[in-house]
């Protein structure tokens, strides 16, 4: 179960660099001369999702390098925009969900774009996702002037992949409430 295909890290880096360059170009064309890294990452993720992983000719359907780049950019964007360290759990939890779905024979009922397959769980893609979280939290610190992380800010978004929008929203609201109730103790525990 799952897939242990090793990735070509150089190629993953190339997908990431290309998508960020494309994002900067698109933002520049739109008149944005100094976009934040978080906005660049949002557009870069969308470019990867639509242009590469959503390729109408299906050239990247089984491409684990392209999938790793998309996973990296998505979680980097999410961690960067929310400042939520719980994003660290997302790549592993998503891989576990895919493994569970695969064991039940319902992997292809997942969240892939229409007509494109969901790739089986892969530990190397998880590692790229973890790298995305680290980079995204650094981006958050950079754009927020060093503000403390916001525990729970991404939980609702992440829950929305598996739960109804209403339930995911409630879970997200609760996570933010809990995170806001303990910023001092969380900051000390995380070395902030």
- Is 116 in a helix, a strand, or coil? coil
- Is 100 in a helix, a strand, or coil? helix
Beta strand segments in 68-150, E: none
pTM of the model: 0.84
Burial of 106 (0-12, 13-18, 19+ CB in 10 A): exposed
Burial of 23 (0-12, 13-18, 19+ CB in 10 A): buried
Cα gap 67→12, rounded to integer Å: 9
Give Cβ neighbours of residue 18 (< 8 Å, ≥ 6 apart).
Answer: none
Token representation of residue 162: 């598996």
Burial code (b: 16+ CB inside 10 Å, e: under 16) for 136-171 equals bbebbbebeeeeebbbbbbbbbbbbeeeeeeebeeb
The predicted structure's pLDDT at residue 185: 42
The predicted structure's pLDDT at residue 91: 93
For every one of its 192 residues, what pLDDT tens digit does the chain have, with 9 covering 90 and above? 678 989 999 999 999 999 999 999 999 999 988 999 999 999 999 999 999 988 888 899 999 999 999 999 999 999 999 999 989 999 998 898 888 888 888 888 765 666 788 899 999 999 999 999 999 999 999 999 999 998 888 877 776 666 566 665 666 666 666 666 665 544 434 444
**What does the domain layout of the chain look like in residue ranges?**
9-147, 156-192
The predicted structure's pLDDT at residue 60: 92
| Gyration radius (Cα) of the chain, Å | 17
The backbone torsions φ and ψ at residue 62, rounded to the nearest 5 degrees and listed phi first, read -110, 20
The predicted structure's pLDDT at residue 158: 75
Cα gap 151→83, rounded to integer Å: 7
The predicted structure's pLDDT at residue 176: 66
* 41 contacts 72 by C-beta, under 8 angstroms: no
Cα gap 169→166, rounded to integer Å: 5
């Amino acid at each position: 179960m799952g897939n242990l295909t090793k990735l070509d890290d150089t190629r993953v880096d190339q997908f990431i660099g290309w998508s960020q360059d494309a994002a900067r170009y698109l933002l520049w064309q739109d008149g944005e001369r100094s976009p934040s890294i978080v906005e660049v990452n949002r557009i870069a993720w969308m470019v990867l999702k639509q242009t590469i992983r959503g390729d109408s000719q299906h050239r990247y359907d089984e491409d684990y390098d392209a999938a790793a780049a998309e996973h990296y950019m998505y979680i980097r964007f999410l961690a960067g925009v929310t400042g939520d360290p719980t994003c660290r759990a997302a790549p592993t939890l998503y891989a576990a969900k895919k493994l569970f779905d695969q064991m039940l024979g319902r992997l292809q009922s997942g969240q892939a774009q229409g007509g494109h397959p969901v790739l089986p769980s892969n530990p190397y893609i998880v590692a790229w996702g973890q790298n995305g979280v680290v980079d995204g939290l650094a981006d958050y610190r950079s754009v927020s002037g060093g503000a403390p992380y916001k525990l729970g800010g991404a939980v609702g978004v992440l829950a929305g992949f598996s739960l109804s929008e209403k339930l995911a929203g409630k879970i997200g609201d609760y996570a933010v409430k809990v995170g806001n109730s303990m910023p001092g103790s969380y900051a000390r525990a995380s070395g902030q």
